[in-house]
Structure 1
Amino acid sequence: MTLFVSALLLLLAAWSSRAMPDGHWEPQGSSRCIPIPSSMALCQGLGYNTMRMPNLLGHESPAEAVQQSASWLPLLARECHLHARIFLCSLFAPVCLERIISPCRSLCESVQDRCAPIMNCYGYPWPRILHCDQFPKDHLIVSLFDKYFLDYCTDCELEETTSAKELLELFCKSDFVVKVRLEPSNSSSSALAKFSLGSRLDVFKHGPLVGGEMRGRLALWLERDATCVGNLIRHHPQGATFLLTGTVTGERLLVNKAFSWNKHQRQLSQAARKWKRHRCRG
């Protein structure tokens, strides 16, 4: 029996008794904030270092959480989803806020779509305790996740080009506005983004960023927001040019709206010329 199958057996056996009849968690005991144990390899390096106990899986002690979280490491080694670690750690090691927040539904569904088939190959279904319909819809929690580098719940989609007036309003409401070319990455590592930034980057508005920070922040966005990037390049597997607008949150860029930039999008070109000399009120 492989290490992967053995770990799944332990995982499912331990968790089957924890599933609530209605599919929701009810942590027991007094809630407290503690440092994430250094031995919890699953949840290291995610941008926060304290967690709430009991967690969303009902673990009462750090030792129990560490032991159970280790069962997921073989699955993560298969790199089934770029954000599987984020999803799991929001359950094993919830961010220490005023209340425990659960992961958003779209993140759960995205991870399940990619990782459940691997589990099924060994005869094990996606655990009932992780059914995605029990998680809140994205808009309920995304602002809390943003603060702690967990803003993977927001699905950006390509927008239809709007009027010049609305584009001007969007420019003023956004922290950043940038024109960028996305090209297939030459990297052979599946852990990295499948698309990379083209050589030219036109920054119309940089907001709180200075100097050459925009390229580095966009590279981080490419690596960490696979759902958004996937939506943009779905019909452009060979690459394309996009106008991206959004907000700056800590070290992260959150893309709110995106437009395909091509020779047919004259309104974007006209708006870009106005942006260079436009002064936003307030």
Structure 2
Amino acid sequence: MNCFSPLHFWRLIPLALTVALVPASQASEYEYLSWKSDLYNGGRIYGKPPQCVDIPNDLKLCHNVGYNQMLLPNLLEHETMAEVKQQAGSWVPLVHKNCHPGTQVFLCSLFAPVCLERPIYPCRWLCEAVRDGCTPIMEAFGFPWPEMLTCHKFPQDDVCIAMSHANATEATKPTGYSPICPPCDNEMKTDAILEHMCASEFAFKAKIKEVKRENSDRKVILQKKKKALKLGTLRKKDLKKLVLYLKNGADCPCQQLDNLGNAYLIMGRKVDKQYLLTGIHKWDKSSKEFKKAMKKLKIHKCPAFETVFK
């Protein structure tokens, strides 16, 4: 197995990343600290010897994480790079939402673990901080925190991967974070529109008739006339009487819901018995980004969220 030793790795990693073999309470910026999991047994996992491989450029979640090689199989039982890329792709939009500064470090420690002689897992507190910061955004799109990332699985008092920015243990928002309701992110960027589309089961063009507060949610009542772009499992007869809910959106800003005169690209998905609003963008043909997104929708391949968030 051609893996770096801890010392060799420390010499090669960029200055933004620090490797240290010290207790988590004495963290530098990032720490890579040894902890042996039951997943590894005698240097082998899942019946295959772990190997160091280059992190490919199209592994977007981790291609700029601060190191160039990763262990495969990884710590989430993915044995092929194709599987790693398919599963990791579902998490890229969450990193873009900046829900916690440690999100990428936490995820990449599992999807693309650093090459050291023993497997190294993220600290439980880092998992909990990322979970607490990002779960509200995930829930806004109808996704729960997945079982595969249950935080009690990770070490608490042993050595582990840590990130010790100020307040990193808290679910605080990074500089520049906007409190806008996640589905209402009104940046008319092609990638943002496509991310909302991928997190949605259906999409259509429509105007809004009325918006009401209902407990911690906002109830969005649409006008009858709608132009379907993507129906998923939604039937056309359901489209006529469709009512959407902005999950936990009673108090966060959503500029689109303040202006009921415009037509919007409206996206949603069914969670339990509710239809959730997962994205809303002004239908603006004068916007180059919007036109580009509409064109890309026909060929864009979405990551398979349903295989990850269980």
TM interval, shorter chain, is 0.3 to 0.5
TM-score computed with the length of structure 1 as normaliser? 0.42
Q: Considering fraction of residues, name the structure with more helix.
A: 1
> When the two structures are superposed, what TM-score results if normalisation uses the length of structure 2?
0.39
* Structure holding more strand per residue: 2
